[in-house]
Every structure is written in structure tokens, then in C-alpha cells.
Structure 1
Amino acid sequence: MKTSAFLYPWDVIGDPDAPARIADLGVQQVTLASAYHSTRALTPRHPERRIVTAQHAAVLYPPDASRWAGREPAPYAQTWVDRDDPYGDAAHALAGAGLDVHSWVVLAHNSRLGAEYPHHSVVNAYGDRYPWAPCIARPAVRDYLVALAEEAAARPGTSGTELESCGWYGFAHLHAHDKVTGVGLGDAAQYLMSLCFCASCRDGYAAQGLDADELGAAVRRALAPGWAGSGSTEAGWSGVEKLLGPGLADATLRWRTSAARALQEAAVAAVRAAAGPGFQVLLHADPAPYRSGANAGVEAEHILGVADGVVLPCTGGDAVREAVLGPFAGRSAVLAANFGVVTGMGGAPGTLERDAAHAASLGANQLRLYHAGLASDPDLRAVAEALSRIGR
């Protein structure tokens, strides 16, 4: 089973031992960030540093000035790695160790964009804007994300890409100093909190026969009991229908699905046109179409008619893997099971062999390991041992 480990360029730049260390894990590929959101990351084995602070979403290569001249929004350049082209330099070093390199492109997750262009952000039923979540229904945002995917994916020395957050982003977000868990919100309530009411989405609801003001009032009524108590526990699409009513719920999903498909189809087509034949395009995805976030909600039949396959979140036990892999079973495509291997972040490298076997029994044909740069030495040893047994 082909296996790829996620990495940041700063895990490699300045550490001449990193490429061989990654290759010695037993992986064949690295999924290397070329466009990424803000983060604070540990570099536990780097000879020169221990912390990298990526202060804002940025591209990790020199953006093409002619492509972006006069365009708003446009990508931001990074300043925290002392290289003109950290992605390109890291990709070259990894290829020298015999590793295939795919780009890792984060799209609809960008807090700096939201801060500088607030009108392009998702705005909820209460009028609150989510600066981390650009609204993909806005034409300017969609055009920007498609152009970003085209440029960030098909970098020199890259044979494929994985597009993360190629769809709706919403309420859920790992934010600095979060204080949002005092009232519990199940994923049905989170869907309602993720519905956008910007001008583009209001027009989209109208096209579905909805009055946006009436829809917003319905959302607020549905959520009111949770705010007055200890939260809302409803889960699944049936939970959304319970909160909002089947008619309203289905109409909102039709609009959001059409906007997400438009982005996904355009982004994949642009990447393929730029990269040429044989370039593999995968999406980080969730088979529940109503979900938003890094793993965009999709319908299996549609997305596999667009992309070459999907990367699916498989950390969390047998039931999780069955839920995410089940809708894709029996389909001819790349089905990559993504496992966390950082114990401190909830991963379980010690059960990787068993978990990978279970994923394979459900149709997974590739593995993804998150994240070889962040993992401890014991975690990496457990990964190497598991992969050596899987490869026998």
C-alpha cells in the first residue's frame, strides 16, 4: 500500500538528515505543504530550531507576480523560512532521497484574508463574520482559490497534489486561545452556525426559493434552546433536519453543494491544465456532504468523477473508518486513509498496523501519516516498525 507522510518545508530546510530520516520510515512519498494556514509548529529534531511560527496563511514558494498583478485577493508570501523557495528546495532534497513529492495545498482557510477583506468571509445567522473562512460562493473568492490551486499544486518537481479545505469552511476552527466550548454544539448545530448569509449566499438561497431573512430567523430559533441550556447534542443530517426542518435543511444543502461543486470542479480542472498528463489530484474529503472544514463534505459519486481520489480522516477507531470509507467502497479511485501518528495530538502510531489493515479491508488502497515533522522519536519508531510489517 503506497504510503505518504505529511511534512512542512521547514522540517527539511536546514536539516540535511531529514530526507533520509523520512525515507527510512518506509514511506514512498511525502505530501509537502506548498500553501498553508497560520500555525505554530514544533521541530523536535531540527539542528537549529524548535519552533516555527507561521504568522499568517501563505504560499511557501515565490508567487508569480505577473499572475497576481492587480488581483484582489492574492496570496501572501511567507517570511519565516530564510529561503526564496522553501517548497522547491525541500522538494528537491526529498527527491534526492528517492521520495516522490506531492504538494499539499490549503485553500478556503485563511485568517489574514478575512481580516483584510472581511466582506469575503462567511457571516453567520447572527451577523458574526468568520475571518478564517472565506466564503466560497463569492465569485472573487472562488476565482482566487482556483488560481491559487493552479499555482500552488503544480510546482516543479511535484507529481501530484492534495487539496485541503476545497469546499466550505465554517464554525469549527482551531483558533488561538479558543473559548467556545462553554456551550456544547453537536455537528448539527455546527452546520447551522456554519451557514453563510453574505450577499452571495443570500442570492443563492433565493434561487432555492428561500427568503434569507426568514431562514436566518429559523436558524436562530433552532439554536435558541441550546444557548439557554447546556448546548445542542443533535448529530448527523437527521439532527440538522430536526433542528431546522427537512424542507429548509435540504434547500440550504442544495445551495451549499452547488457552490462547493463549482469550486471543486474548477480547481481540479485548473490544476490538471497547468500540470499536464499523469498529475494526480486528490481532495481531503468527508463523505457527509453537509460537513465543512479541512475535509470538505462531498458526495462520493460526484467527487470521484472530478478528482483522482480522496484522502479520508481515519483516526478514531473502527466506527470512524467504516463511516468515512463505506460510501467509497468498491470504487476505482485512490482511497487514502489518513492516520494521525502524533500521540500528543491524539494519534495512535502503536496501532497503525492493525488500523491500516482494517482500512484496507474497507477499500483503502493508500495510507497518509500525519505528521512526520511533528511526531516524537518514539512515534516515528512505531511508524517505521508498523510499515516494515505492513510491507512484508
Structure 2
Amino acid sequence: MKTSAFLYPWDVVGDPDAAARVAALGVQQVTLASVYHSTRALTPRHPGRRIVTAEYAAVLYPPDPARWSGQPLRPHEQSWVPGADPYAEAARALTDAGLQVHSWVVLAHSSRLGAEHPDTSVVNAYGDRYPWAPCIARPDVRAYLVALAAEAAVREGTLGTELESCGWYGYGHLHAHDKTAGVGLGEAAQYLMSLCFCPDCRAGYGEHGVDADELRASVRWALEPVWAGSGGPPATGWSGVGELLGAGLAEATLQWRGQVARTLQESVVASVREAAGAGFQVLLHADPAAYRTGANVGVDARHVLSVADGVVLPCTGGDAAREAVLGPFADASGVLAANFGIVSGMGGSPGTLARDAAHAASLGAGQLRLYHAGLASDQDLEAVTDALRHIG
């Protein structure tokens, strides 16, 4: 199975041994971040540092001034990795080590965008803005994401791209010093807390026969037992959304949000293909449950494979969880990549990678993704190397 490991440019820049070390794992490809959200990351093997603090969402290459001149929404350059073009420097080193390089592009996830342009953010039923979550129904946000995708995906020496957060982001987000665990929100309540009520979304609900003020009131009423802790076990799944909101209202919101996400994905992929030319592979990080938000955006399985070359699917949890994610794509004709966590300290299981990969292959997965070779300990990487020998 073709296998790719995720990396940040800062895992490679300044470490002359990094590329060879990654190649020695037995992977054929690296998925290298070209635009990424704010984070604080360990670099456990880097000779010059142990912590990288990426203070805001930024591109890890020099953006084209001509592309962004006069644009109100534009990407920010990073300042935490030395060099004029950290992505290109890392990509060259990895290519020289015999690895293929694909870009890793995080789109609708940027706290700095929301801080500098509050009107771009998702607005929940209580009027709270989510600065980390741009509302993809807004024309200015969509235009920005389409332009960013084309630039960030198609870098020199890059053979393909993986697009993360190419759809709706919402409530679920590990923010700085997160204090949101006091009330247990189930999956259904999180969906309600992710519904946007900005002017564009309010108009969109109206197009689907829903009065936005009535919907907002229904969301708040449905969540009252959740805040009180009197609603019983948290509602889960799409059926749980229907239980909280009512099946008719729930379906109307999903129709609007699905239309917005599908057309954005179509536009983003088209812009990347136009910039790249023939033979450039485009994959989306996705989840087959269309109502889900986040890094792995909810998609319509049939539609997304008519747009992109394939999908990267989160394969965390046990066999049942993997079957739920991979099952809807069982007959896929495109690339089906199973994404496994390999960092033990972050809940990954490198020791069971060979068994888990075999199970994913039995469900139709033809490729593997390993998250994340730069964050993993030496012991985790040794387990990965052993597993990949058995997988072949």
C-alpha cells in the first residue's frame, strides 16, 4: 500500500537528517504542510529546537504579491521557521531523499482571519462568533479560499495536494486554554452549535423554506436541556439532530449547508486543477457523514468522488469506527486513503498499525496516511517501521 507521512516544514528545515529518517520508515510520500492553522508543536528530534509556536494561521511559503494585491482577505506569512521559503526547502530535501511530496492545505480554519475580519466568522444561534471558523457561505470567504487553495496546493516539486477543512468548520475546536468541557455536548448538540446565522446563511435558510429567526429560536430551545444537564445522555448521530431540532428543520439546514459545501469543493478543486495542469492529484480530507464539521469535513460520498481524485478518511477508534467511515466508499473508483494516528501520546496506536491497515484494506482502502511523523517519539517511529515492513 502506498503510504504517506504528514510533516511540517519545520520538522525538516534545519535538520539535515530529517528527510533520510522519514524515508527510512518505509513510506513513499510525505504530505507537507503549505498552509496551517495556529499550533504549538514538539520537534523531538530536531537538533536546534524542541518547540515550535505557530502563533497564527499562515502560509509556509512566500505568497504571490500580484495575486493578493488589493484583496481584503489575504494569507499571512509565517515568522517561526527560518528561510525565505520553508516549504520549498523542506520539499527539496524530501525529494532528494527519494520521497514524493504532496502539499497539505488547511483552508477554512483560521483564528487570525476571524480576529481581523469578524464578519467572516460563523455566528451561532446565540450571536457568538467563532473566529477560528470562516463561514463558507460568504462570497468573500469563498473567493479567498479558492485563491488560497490554488496558490498553496501547487508548489514547485509538488505532485499533488490534500485539502483539509474544505467545507464547514463549527463548534468543535481545541482553542487556546480550552474551557468547554463543563457541559457534555453530544454530536447532535455540537451540530446545532455549529449552525451559522450570519446574513448569508439566514438568507440561505430562507431559500429552503425556513425562517431564520424561528430556526434560531428552535436551536436555543432544543439546547436548554443540554445546558441544564437534564436532557439525559447526549444525542448522537444524524437521528439525534432530528430528535433535538425536529426532522424537517434538521433536513432543511443540511440541504443548505450541503449545497454550500459541495459548490465550494467544486470551485476549490477546479482552481487547483487549473493552476496545476494534468496529472496533479487532488484529495480531500473528508467524513462520509455529511452533517459533520471540522478538519475532516462532512461530504456526500458520491459527489466528492465526482469532484476530487479521492479522499483521506480518519481511521481512529476501533474496527467499528473504521467501518463506519470507510464503508460508504467501499465501491469507490478513486483514491481511498485511511488516515491513522501514530503518536501514542495523542491517542495513536502505532503498535497495531499492521493489523489496522489490513482491516482498512479489506474495506477498500488502497493507501495509508500516518499522522504525524514529526510529532511521534522514536519508539512510535520504530513501531511504524516494523509495521510497514509487514504491510509491504
Give the TM-score range, shorter chain: over 0.9
* Partner residue in 2 for 1:296: 297
Structure 2 distance, partners of 1:183, 1:50, is 35
1:81 and 2:92 equivalent? no
User: Counterpart amino acid of 2:40?
Assistant: R
Structure 1 distance, partners of 2:144, 2:97, is 34
Structure 1 distance, partners of 2:105, 2:258, is 21
Structure 2 distance, partners of 1:336, 1:230, is 41
Q: C-alpha root-mean-square deviation of aligned residues, in Å?
A: 0.7
How far 1:133 sits from its partner (Å)?
0.2
User: Counterpart amino acid of 1:370?
Assistant: Y
1:226 and 2:226 equivalent? yes
1:174 and 2:174 equivalent? yes
How far 1:355 sits from its partner (Å)?
0.1
* Partner residue in 1 for 2:378: 377
Structure 1 distance, partners of 2:272, 2:230, is 45
How far 1:120 sits from its partner (Å)?
0.5
Residues 176-325 of structure 1 aligned to structure 2 (within 5 Å): 176-229=176-229, 233-325=234-326
**Does the 8 A contact of 1:191 with 1:290 survive in 2?**
yes
2:161 aligned counterpart, secondary structure:
strand
Structure 2 distance, partners of 1:284, 1:234, is 25
What are the superposed Cα offsets for residues 321-349 of structure 1, whole Å, 9 maximum, x if unpaired?
10000000011110000000000000000
Structure 1 distance, partners of 2:122, 2:166, is 15
2:283 aligned counterpart, secondary structure:
strand
How far 1:191 sits from its partner (Å)?
0.3
**Does the 8 A contact of 1:101 with 1:159 survive in 2?**
yes
Structure 1 distance, partners of 2:321, 2:175, is 24
Identity %: 76
* Partner residue in 1 for 2:352: 351
Structure 2 distance, partners of 1:141, 1:230, is 38
**Does the 8 A contact of 1:184 with 1:233 survive in 2?**
yes
* Partner residue in 1 for 2:342: 341
1:93 aligned counterpart, secondary structure:
helix
* Partner residue in 1 for 2:126: 126
**Does the 8 A contact of 1:184 with 1:230 survive in 2?**
no
2:14 aligned counterpart, secondary structure:
coil
What are the superposed Cα offsets for residues 286-332 of structure 1, whole Å, 9 maximum, x if unpaired?
00000000000001100000000000000111011100000000111
2:382 aligned counterpart, secondary structure:
helix
Give the gaps of 5 or more residues in structure 1. Answer: none
How far 1:157 sits from its partner (Å)?
0.3
What are the superposed Cα offsets for residues 257-302 of structure 1, whole Å, 9 maximum, x if unpaired?
0110111000000000000000000000000000000000001100
User: Counterpart amino acid of 1:161?
Assistant: T
TM-score by length of 2: 0.99
* Partner residue in 2 for 1:137: 137
How far 1:176 sits from its partner (Å)?
1.1
**Does the 8 A contact of 1:183 with 1:230 survive in 2?**
no
Residues 15-94 of structure 1 aligned to structure 2 (within 5 Å): 15-94=15-94
Residues 138-153 of structure 1 aligned to structure 2 (within 5 Å): 138-153=138-153
Structure 1 distance, partners of 2:82, 2:12, is 12
Structure 1 distance, partners of 2:315, 2:230, is 29
How far 1:229 sits from its partner (Å)?
1.4
Structure 2 distance, partners of 1:281, 1:49, is 33
Structure 1 distance, partners of 2:79, 2:178, is 26
What are the superposed Cα offsets for residues 78-110 of structure 1, whole Å, 9 maximum, x if unpaired?
010111100000000000000000000000000
How far 1:253 sits from its partner (Å)?
0.3
What are the superposed Cα offsets for residues 184-240 of structure 1, whole Å, 9 maximum, x if unpaired?
011100000000000000010010111100000000010011111166610011000
User: Counterpart amino acid of 2:315?
Assistant: C
Structure 2 distance, partners of 1:185, 1:107, is 25
Structure 2 distance, partners of 1:22, 1:315, is 22
Structure 2 distance, partners of 1:345, 1:230, is 32
Structure 2 distance, partners of 1:230, 1:46, is 50
**Does the 8 A contact of 1:343 with 1:375 survive in 2?**
yes
Give the gaps of 5 or more residues in structure 2. Answer: none
Structure 2 distance, partners of 1:129, 1:331, is 37
1:364 aligned counterpart, secondary structure:
coil
User: Counterpart amino acid of 1:276?
Assistant: G
